[in-house]
Amino acid sequence: MKKEQLAEHLHKYHHGAENAVISKTLELVFRISGKELRDLVNALRRDGILIASDQSGYFYAKTEAEVRLTIRHMRNRISGISAAITGLRRSLAAFDDTQMRLPLEGGDDS
């Protein structure tokens, strides 16, 4: 299965942040899309496998600090997504309920 192959590949060739690999390279090596790669990484992380990442790419964590930095980065992404959701909710006010609506055929307004 590609999940185990990915974990093994990262452990063997990309152990530690200094050996990080960009996602595009992994996509080519495993012949998968970016979404498939992210899904595999997510599944491995959910299984407790030490797949870390930083601005340089993905790698198999060598230290606790690398895992903690990855967690911090992920928490920051959650905060950013949450702020975007809040902004979008506020933007819903632009869709005023008093807008003119066309009646449906056969409805009460026909």
67-97 pLDDT per residue, tens? 999 999 999 999 999 999 999 999 998 887 6
Half-sphere exposure of 49 (CA within 13 A, CB side): 21
- What's the chain's Rg over C-alpha atoms? 22
Reported pTM: 0.80
Res 98 pLDDT > 80: no
- Give dist(CA 104, CA 110) in Å, integer: 8
| Domain extent at residue 24 | 2-93
Task: For residue 20, tell me if it sits in a domain.
Answer: yes
108 within domain boundaries: no
Quickly state the pLDDT bin for 110 (edges 50, 70, 90). very low
Q: Is residue 35 over pLDDT 90? A: yes
CATH code of 55's domain: 1.10.10.10
**Number of domains, the chain:** 1
